[in-house]
Structure 1
Amino acid sequence: MMESIVAKGTPVREFKKQIIEEAKVQGIDCVLELDKMRLRDKIGVYPGTVYLDHQVIDAGKKMYVEPLKGLEKKHKAQRQVYVIRWRPSQCSVDPIEEIILDNYNGDPKDVIGKLSELSGVSVEYISYTEGKQFPVEISCLDIDNELIWYRIAGGYSLRLYDGRVIYYKDKRETKKELTDKERSEIQEAETARLEKIKECKSKHGL
């Protein structure tokens, strides 16, 4: 965490340059590159709206600095959404990824098309959940049963904003039958992970 003073009316791109220099001075262990980072609203522990380079900083807000693996892909009128692939046959999830939606109007076909491109799974075999806040507090043992799953034929309108999370899966996958030992090991790991999330939220008064 770092604090930075910014003048009212400063463009986002200029503030990014300032953050990079201040992070170096403060010895923060994070490599930041001007074209491979984004600023976004910090709502408690939740990531919110992404600020684009041409916009002006709201000096009264708290923000996240998010390092990116590649160049920023989000532009005006687009939505940035995190996606997590659930693999029932392994009782595990893939690392979190993101998709960028163009001129999104709530039509799930736009989302499913992006998920198909990302995963290689044909659109007719993709099931997806509604958008959740990041991070999602749910155990791998409960994903299949506690989340509501939709298909493209369902016509469910998907309300999404920057920073929301969608789980998706290949509906052809069968659920793995866990042994008692496997279930116990997963339960232990998931309990520890969820506890870290709760501790983080508690520090922010949530």
Structure 2
Amino acid sequence: MKNKYRKSGKGLEQTEEKFHKTNGWLTDDEYEIRLRRHRAETEDMSVKKLDGFPGIFSDYAVSRKDADKKTSYTVELRSLDSHTNFCTCPDFKKNFLGTCKHIEKILLKPVMIRRRKTDISEQLPERIDNNYFVGITEEQRKRYDEYEYQVSIMLRMAQKHPLREAEMKRLQRLLACMRMLCDSVFILDRKTKDAPKVDELFRILDDI
């Protein structure tokens, strides 16, 4: 019979120490599971599928990438929403939670269980890079010039005295708006649907 509360492990990293301070040293099962998910998110691990069968329910080898001595553990993934999975790591054997950081690493992002580009690089066609130069519309140019004029005023002010924090934030907002206008007026004005880059993209897709 498992205990409702257990003492947290020692030698935790600084981020996990903060994690513990908000809950105290006596923790319940829900907290311990969240802690293992936190470790799965923050630790750099290698996940390798051990068989060639399709689907995610399979056996995996999971190990820390940044550890001096890399120890690999085998995870048997049987379910995505219940604690019926298995891992050969010591933590899984003694925590009675039905999970561990290695299992949570696989459950966090099932999309990571796929072939890497390096595995199929020889099967891919030669890469072709094309540059497309897209002009802006009259409406984009009009609004861009308005923001550019306001930026020029701010720059003249900066030549006379250092900009205050509020002025610096205003300058950053103006420059950000100028960048967004180069994509589409719609980003700043939902009533105007000028988007020459999108139009060019559709033309390219039609030619493929």
Q: TM-score range by the shorter chain?
A: under 0.3
Structure of higher CA gyration radius: 2
Which one has a larger percent strand, Structure 1 or Structure 2?
A: 1
What TM-score do you get using the length of structure 2 for normalisation?
A: 0.23
Higher RCO, 1 or 2 (CA under 8 Å, sep at least 6)? 1
